[in-house]
Amino acid sequence: MKNKFLIYTLAAVAVLSFGSMESKAAALSLGSSAGIASALEAYEANTINADKKIMEYLDTAATNKNLCIAKVNDYVNVRKGPSEEEEIVGKLYDKSAGQVLEEVDGWYKISSGSISEGYVKKEYVVVGEEAQELAKEVGTRFATVITETLRVREDATTESSILGLVPEGEELVVKEEVEGWVKVSIEEGEGWVSIDYVMLHTEYVQAESKEEEAARLAKEEAARKAANAAAAKKSGSGSQVVGNSAGSSSGQAVANFASRFVGNPYVYGGTSLTNGADCSGFVMSVYANFGVSLPHSSSALRNVGYGVSLSQAQPGDIICYSGHVGIYVGNNTIVHASTAATGIKYTSPVTYRQVLAVRRIF
């Protein structure tokens, strides 16, 4: 099947519970610079939520008897009825989850995301115990920081040394859970945080309707055009063309500019490329030089621009990790404001930590 969507893309979050079907959505885009904000705000005002939905089972996925998970190379079509002649209403991507409503002649009637009822062929999804086991692998457990500054400690005790600091709102990948504490991944390594200061949830990707796919693609194109317009305005050339499928000269320019600050200090909460910045402050300030306004948050940066796969990464792309971000400069290398001990530096390979997303602005 032709690859139409990449699992790395996490452009918006909608947290849902199968029991109450309550949802909350947060859509993040490029910041509020003059060239970008006007284009995206106008677009957002006239389109539906364009992004793949994310759902949270609130720890019930492993025991949900109606759980189904797609097991395909890319995606399986969701149809209006139990026949390949029926209209396609959406796509269930690999490792996406849903609920089985009933079984009909070799098809499952499912509910997933905004698709309340649709049909997929049984051979493309797993159910029962196999789905419950797979759910443990495909779901990503996050701890969202709910205090102003979270102290990550080397061991699961308040007497332990502080490994690093994380600002409010950041989402950290959970590696382990014990009574009262969770182990999370940050740039300094894996450490422990008290559950009193984080909100835990597990995310699973859901189906995407035809309308959502069309809106998402339009939003991504709007983001590309807005970023290019901002870069052109910054350079003083309204006719400048940047970004193409073969690679972006503006992306390379971003990578080159970011590399100029290697060796400068890391400062928690900082945004100065010379006097010190933290990881998201570094990315934000580098892109500000090109007329692009980005948020000062590594979690929020997972939602800017548009998503690509790691294998398609190009210079200038933003590489997102748990509680950390960097800028890809090519040759399997990122430049980033790493830690207070190491400052702004190069790191290779890019996969020295689990990559959560790759976002492209140009």
Number of Cα atoms under 13 Å in the Cβ half of residue 97:
30
The pLDDT > 70 percentage for the chain reads 78
Q: What is the pLDDT of residue 225?
A: 84
Active site residue 324: yes
Q: How far apart are CA 291 and CA 355, in angstroms?
A: 26
Is 21's pLDDT higher than 70? no
Q: Is 90 helix (H, G, I), strand (E, B) or coil?
A: strand
Place of tokens 């990449």: 6
| Identity at 331, one-letter amino acid code | N
Of 13, 3, 32, 26, the closest CA to residue 356 belongs to: 13
- Which residues on adjacent β-strands are paired with residue 126? 69
Q: Answer whether residue 4 shows pLDDT above 60.
A: no
Q: Which of 254, 250, 252, 255 is nearest to 240 (CA)?
A: 250
Check pLDDT > 90 for residue 32.
no
* Confidence category of residue 65, pLDDT binned at 50, 70, 90: confident
User: In this predicted structure, what is the pLDDT of residue 202?
Assistant: 87
Q: Which residue has the higher pLDDT, 83 or 40?
A: 83
Residue range 245-261: average pLDDT?
A: 84
Residue with tokens 């050339």: 237
Check residue 247 and give its pLDDT.
53
* Kind of pairing between the strands at 149-153 and 140-145: unpaired
> What is the pLDDT confidence band of residue 203, given thresholds at 50, 70 and 90?
confident
**Residues 283-294: what's their mean pLDDT?**
96
Q: pLDDT averaged over the chain?
A: 82
> Which DSSP state fits 317?
P
Q: Is 80 exposed, middle or buried (0-12, 13-18, 19+ CB in 10 A)?
A: middle
Residue 95 CA to residue 114 CA, distance in Å, equals 17
Considering only residues 245 and 192, tell me which one the structure prediction assigns the higher pLDDT.
192
CB-side exposure of 167: number of CA atoms within 13 Å?
Answer: 14
**Which position among 68, 201, 320, 336 bears the catalytic label?**
336
Band the pLDDT of 69: cuts 50, 70, 90: very high
Asked if residues 159 and 198 have their Cβ atoms less than 8 Å apart, the reply is no
| pLDDT at residue number 53 | 41
What DSSP assignment string belongs to 19-70? TT--EEEEE--S---HHHHHHHHHHHTTS---S--EE--TT-GGG-TTEEEE
Mean pLDDT, rounded, for 310-327: 96
Q: Tell me what pLDDT residue 233 has.
A: 74
β partners of residue 93: 75
Tell me whether residue 336 is one of the annotated catalytic residues: yes
Is 245 exposed, middle or buried (CB count within 10 Å of its CB: 0-12, 13-18, 19+)?
A: exposed
Q: Spot the catalytic one: 201, 296, 320, 324.
A: 324
Annotate 156-193 with b (16+ C-beta within 10 A) or e (fewer).
Answer: beeeeeebbebbeebbbbbbeeeeebbbbbbbbebbbb
pLDDT band of 235, cuts 50, 70, 90: low
pLDDT band at 130 (very low <50, low <70, confident <90, very high): very high
pTM of the model: 0.73
In one-letter notation, the amino acid at residue 281 is G
Question: Does residue 15 surpass a pLDDT of 50?
Answer: no
Banded pLDDT at 48 (limits 50, 70, 90): very low
The angle that helices 249-259 and 279-288 make with each other, rounded to 10 degrees, is: 130
Looking at the chain, the domain(s) classified CATH 2.30.30.40 span: 140-205
Cis peptide before 349 (omega within 30 of 0): yes
Provide the 10 A C-beta neighbour count for residue 135: 22
- Which helix or strand (DSSP H or E) is residue 190 part of? strand 189-194
- Among 2.30.30.40, 3.40.50.410, 3.40.30.10, 2.60.40.1180, name the CATH number for the domain at 140-205: 2.30.30.40
The residue from 201, 279, 296, 320 that is catalytic is 279
The answer on pLDDT for 187 being more than 80 is yes
The answer to whether residues 78 and 88 touch, using CB atoms and an 8 Å cutoff, is yes
Q: Determine the Cα–Cα distance for residues 207 and 107; give it in Å rounded to an integer.
A: 16
Q: Which two tokens stand for residue 255?
A: 């990578």
State residue 72 phi and psi, 5-degree precision: -140, 175
Radius of gyration of the chain (CA): 21
Q: Out of 3.90.1720.10, 3.30.1180.10, 3.60.10.10, 3.10.290.10, which CATH number does the structure's domain 221-360 have? A: 3.90.1720.10
